[in-house]
Structure 1
Amino acid sequence: MTRNRHILTELPGPKARALIARDAEVISPSYPRDYPFVMSHGRGTEVWDVDGNRFLDFAAGIAVCSTGHAHPQVVQAVKDAADRFLHISSDYWHEQMAGLGERLARIAPMGEPAMSFLCQSGTEAVEASLKLARYVTGRSRFIGFLGGFHGRTMGSLAFTSSKYTQQKGFFATMPGVTHVPYPNPYRAMFAGSDQGKAVLDYIRMLFERSVPASEVAAILVEPIQGEGGYIVPPDGFLAGLRTLCDEHGILLIFDEVQSGIGRTGRMFASQHWGVQPDIMTLAKGLGSGLPIGAMVAKKRLMSQWKRGAHGNTYGGNPIACAAANATIDLVENGMMGNAATVGAHFMGRLRDLARDYPCVGEVRGKGLMIGMELVEGDAERTPARKLCDDVITRAFHNGLLLLSCGASTVRFMPPLNVTREEIDEALVLLRSSLDEALLGQED
C-alpha cells in the first residue's frame, strides 16, 4: 500500500473531530456528508484540513470550484467588487450584472440572440426555466428523465430522480412531470443497440397513449447525466430530442448546471453534439465557488416575460457576477482546453487501470467530467455499491477527495486547471484505495 506523506494525523484529526461535534449541535443533519473532511484552506487542486493534512480535491465542491480553490484572478475580482458595494437589489442596474449578461449572450449555444435571468443556485435556475416554459407556451406538462438531478425545491424536485431519498417525505411535488428512461449504452433498458432511438420511440408512444404532446411545455434533460452516473448519451439522442420538440412545439431545456462552463472540454456539453437548446440552466462552476446561477434562454422567449413575472432579491449580486466574469475569462483562456487535453490523459490512465481491476465495468465521460462504474463482475454487471462506498472512504484516508454518483460510480471532477502531475498522483492514491477496499471485502 502507498502511504501518502501528506497525511500527518489519523483521520479525522483532533481539531476536525472537535469541529464536527460543534456542527452536530447546530447544523441540519440533512446534509449528505460522506466522510469527515473539515477544510481549512485550499489552493488550486490542493486542500488542507484543520489538522494540517493535505489532500487532492477531485470533487471540487461538486464541480463548483472550476478554476481551482482561491484562484488569484477570481479572488482579486471579488475583492475589487466588494470594495465598491456588496449588494444592490435586482430592481436596479450595475456594470457587473450587465457585463455578465453580455458574456452569457455571446457564448450561449442557442444559435440566436439570448437573454439571462440571474439567481443564486442551480435549482433556482431550473425553477426559472420551468416558469418561463409554462409562461410562453401556455402548457403545463413536462418530460423528465429517470436518474436526473435538477435540484431540491419543489418544481425542480418533481424532476429529480437520481435517488428516491431526495423525494421521500415531500410528495406531492409539482404535478405534470412524466419521467422516461435516460439512454445508457452500458446498461440497456431496451432491446437493440440504439438506446437513444429506443427512448425517443418510447416518448413518441407516450404522446400517442397517455401524454398529449400538445400539453407538454418542455423536455428537461442533462446533456450528460450527472448524479445519475455520469452517463454520456449515445450520439444522435440529443439531436433526436431537438427534432421531437420541433415537431410538437415543445421547448428543449438543457440542464448544464454540472456539465457547463468548460467542464467537458467545451463551454457547454451540448456542443459536443451541436444541438441547440431553447433554454439552458447554469450554476456550479459559473462562479468558481460564489453562489450564482443563470437561466439562459432565446431572446424571443425571454422577452415575452412581463415586468414582475419573475424576480428575486439577490440575482445579479455584484460579488457573484464579478466571480463569474473572471471565471469565464479563465475558462475561455486556457482552462477549457486543459480540461480537454488533461481529461483525455486522465481517461486513458483510468482505462489502463481498468485492465488490472475486473471490478471496473466502464470508464466514461468527456473532458474532466469522468465516471468509473464499479461492478460485481457477474454477467448482469451488478452495481458494486458497497465497494464504491469503500473506495470513496479509503480514498479520503489516502488523501484524495472523491464523490460517487449513480448506483456505484466513482466520479472525477477536479478543477479545470488540474495538472497531469496531479492526475498521476491521484491515480496512485486511487489504485491504493481500490486495493484496500477489495482486500477489506475479503476479510
Structure 2
Amino acid sequence: MAAVSPRTHIRTELPGPRARAMLARDADVISPSYPRDYPFVMSHGRGTQVWDVDGNRFLDFAAGIAVCSTGHAHPRVVQAVKDAADRFLHISSDYWHEEMTALGERLARLAPMGEPAMSFFCQSGTEAVEAALKLARHVTGRPRFIGFLGGFHGRTMGSLAFTSSKYTQQQGFFATMPGVTHVPYPNPYRPLFAGADQGEAVLDYIRMLFERNVPASEVAAILVEPIQGEGGYVVPPDGFLAGLRALCDEHGILLIFDEVQSGVGRTGRLFASEHWGVHPDIMTLAKGLGSGLPIGAMVAKRRLMAQWKRGAHGNTYGGNPLACAAANATLELVEGGMAANAAAVGAHFVARLQELARDYGCIGEVRGKGLMIGMELVEADAARTPARELCDRVITRAFHNGLLLLPCGASTLRFMTPLNVTRDEIDEGVALLRLSLDEALAGVVARVSEAHRAATR
C-alpha cells in the first residue's frame, strides 16, 4: 500500500503553539509521576478519531489505555450520562438507585462464573483488585497469594504487591502487602522452560512451590490476567487457564481473573476467559466498562460475596449514577454488536500486521485476540533481543504522523482501538504505522552510523 503523507491531517508542528502553552501550564501544577509518552493535548474526539488543541487530527489506537471501548463520545453513552445527570449526580452507596441495581443485574447475567454472581462497584481497576483480595482473604481465612511476573494490577499498596510489569512501579514503595509470591507467566514467544509446554511448565513450577516454599493450604487465591496486558499482550497457551482452575480446585484456592484490560468485548468476547471456557471465582473489571467514566467492578460468585457482612467493605462513590448509566449503555452496545466487530475487524487488523511482519525483520511476533493486539519488535539477532529504542522511536514517529500508540512489555506496540473501529480506519492506521517504521528504522541507522563515525575519528 502506498505511504500516507504524515501531513494529511497534521496542520502544525507537534506540539503546536496551543499545546505548548498547555504543557507549560501543566508543568507547574500537575504531578510529574504520570508516564506521558508524547505531547498530545486533546481537544475533542469522535469514535476512533481525536483532535488536539491546534486542530490536528489523529487516529486513536490507544483508546485512553483501552478505556474508550465504544469510541470517544458515543452518542448513546453521552445521552445516558446526560439523562442520569438530569436526575441526580450522586447518592452514596449506602442507598439504592435504578442504574446501580440494573448494572448489577446485567453483570450477573453476563458474568462467566458458571453460577449466580454479585457485584461490588468502585471507581478503578486497582480498587476492584483490592476488593477481590479482601474478599478472598475474608472467605478463605488464608493470608497468601500467587501472582505472575509481568502482571499489572494497579498501584495501590495491595494491588501493587502483584504488579511486576516494570520495577519502576514498585521502586521506592517497599514494603507492599506481604504474602505475594510471583511465578512466571507462560510466554510461548519467549519460553523460560526449554523443550516444554510453557503453560504446563508454569503449573509444575507452582506445584513445586507448594511442595517446598508456599503451603497450598495458606494460599487464598491466584490472581492472573487471562491475557497479560502491560507485560506485553501475551496470550497464554491453550490449557493453561484450565490447568490453573484445576490446581485451585485441588487445593481449595480461589481463582481471580483480572479482566480490567481484557474484558468488556476487547478480545471479541465479552470476557477474555470465555475463549478458553474457564470460570473464575472472582473477576475484576474497569477501563472499558464505562466508556471513559471512572467505574470498576469486582464480580464474584454469589456464594462467596454473600459471606461479606454489613460494613466489611464499602466506599463513597461506588455505584455513582452517572458511571453506572455509562456502563449500562456500554454493555448494551458491546453486546449489541461491538464485541462481534472487535472479533471481525481484529482479524483483519492482525492480517494487515502480519503483512507488515513479512516486510520488516524487526517485527518478531504479532499476537492477540480481537482488538487486544501486540506487535513485538526485536533486534536483528537470533536471541530475539527486545528492540526497546526502536519501539520508542516508532511510537514517537507515529504521533508525528497522526497515530496514537502506546507500548507494553519490553518492546511491544499494543493496539487497543475502540471496539467500533472500521476496517478503513485500520487500513489508514497500518499505512501510518508503515511510514513510522520506515522513519524510525532510518533514524536508528543514522544514529548507528554517526556513532561509528565518531568512534573512528
2: CA distance, partners of 1:238 / 1:54: 41
Partner of 2:451: none
- Counterpart Cα distance in 1 of 2:337 and 2:384: 39
Partners in 2 of 1:243 and 1:18 — Cα distance?
56
Q: Which residue of 1 aligns with 2:353?
A: 350
Aligned residue number for residue 324 of structure 1: 327
Residue number in structure 2 paired with 1:80: 83
Structure 2 residue 188 is matched with structure 1 residue 185: yes
1:193 offset after TM fit, Å?
3.5
Determine if the alignment matches structure 1 residue 3 to structure 2 residue 5: yes
SS of residue in 2 equivalent to 1:297 = strand
Cα deviation, 1:367-423, whole Å, max 9, x if unaligned, reads: 000000000021100000000000000000000000000000000000000000000
CA-to-partner distance for each residue in 1:77-117, whole Å, 9 max, x for gaps? 00000000000000000000000000000000000000000
The AA in structure 2 aligned to 1:47 is: V
What is the SS of the residue equivalent to 1:355? Answer: helix
Within 2, Cα distance between the matches of 1:3 and 1:397? 11
* Within-5 A mapping of 1:251-270: 251-270=254-273
Q: Which amino acid aligns with 1:345?
A: H
Matched letter for residue 166 of structure 2: K
CA-based RMSD? 0.5
2: CA distance, partners of 1:104 / 1:192: 41
Residue 34 of structure 2 is matched in structure 1 by 31
Listed as ranges, the gaps of 5+ residues in structure 1 are: none
Q: For 1:356 and 1:213, how far apart are their aligned partners in 2?
A: 49
1:24-80 per-position Cα deviation (integer Å, ceiling 9, x unaligned): 000000000000000000000000000000000000000000000000000000000
Q: TM-score, normalised by structure 1?
A: 1.00
Give yes or no for the alignment of 1:109 onto 2:112.
yes
| Deviation at residue 191 of structure 1 after TM alignment | 1.6
> What secondary structure sits across from 1:159 in the alignment?
coil
1:203 paired residue among 195, 202, 206: 206
Instruction: List gaps (5 residues or longer) in structure 2.
Output: 447-457
* 1:56 correspondence with 2:37: no
State the partner residue of 2:24.
21
Q: TM-score by structure 2 length?
A: 0.97
Question: What secondary structure, in the 3-state scheme, does the structure 2 residue paired with 1:68 have?
Answer: coil
1:280-314 deviation per Cα after TM superposition (whole angstroms, max 9, x unaligned): 00000000000000000000000000000000000
Indicate the residue corresponding to 1:440 in structure 2: 443
Q: Secondary structure at the match of 1:115?
A: strand
Residue 130 of structure 1 is matched in structure 2 by: 133
Give the match's secondary structure for 1:191. Answer: coil
State the partner residue of 2:395.
392
Give the distance between the partners of 1:52 and 1:294, measured in 2 at CA.
36
Mapped partners of 1:235, 1:391: distance in 2: 31
Distance 2:4 2:342 in 1: 27
Q: Which moved more, 1:410-419 or 1:184-193?
A: 184-193
Q: In structure 2, what residue type is equivalent to 1:239?
A: A
The yes-or-no answer on 1:339 pairing with 2:342 is: yes
1:93 corresponds to which of 96, 118, 124: 96
Correspondence for 1:174 among 173, 177, 198: 177
Q: Which amino acid aligns with 1:328?
A: L
Equivalent in 380, 400, 414 of residue 411 of structure 1: 414
TM-superposed deviation, 1:192: 1.6
Tell me which stretches of 4 or more aligned residues in structure 1 moved more than 6 Å: none
Question: In structure 2, how many angstroms separate the alpha carbons of the residues matched to 1:182 and 1:25?
Answer: 40
* Counterpart for residue 306 of structure 1: 309
**Counterpart secondary structure, 1:253:** strand
Q: Distance in 2 between matches of 1:385 and 1:191?
A: 25
Letter in 1 for 2:158: G
Structure-2 residue corresponding to 1:383? 386
CA distance in 2, matches of 1:238, 1:2: 42
Q: Tell me what 2:453 maps to.
A: none
Q: How far apart, in 2, do the equivalents of 1:342 and 1:282 lie?
A: 23
3-state SS of paired residue (1:112): coil
Rounded to whole Å, the distance in 2 between the matches of 1:26 and 1:169 is 23
- Identical residues among aligned pairs (%): 86
The whole-number CA distance in structure 2 between the counterparts of 1:441 and 1:214 is 53
Cα distance between partner residues in 1 of 2:78 and 2:166: 35
Q: Report the counterpart of residue 244 of structure 1 in structure 2.
A: 247
Letter in 2 for 1:297: A
Aligned residue type for 2:194: A
What SS does structure 2 have at the residue aligned with 1:19?
helix
- Matched position secondary structure for 2:181: strand
Equivalent residue letter for 1:151: G
CA distance in 1, matches of 2:196, 2:59: 38
Mapped to 1, the partners of 2:91 and 2:305 lie a distance apart of 23
Q: Could you list the per-position Cα deviations for residues 225-284 of structure 1 after superposition, in whole angstroms to 9, with x for gaps in the alignment?
A: 000000000000000000000000000000000000000000000000000000000000
Q: What is the total number of aligned residue pairs between the two structures?
A: 443
Corresponding residue number in structure 1 for 2:223: 220
Which residue of structure 1 aligns with residue 236 of structure 2? 233
CA shift digits 1:125-152 (9 cap, x unpaired): 0000000000000000000000000000
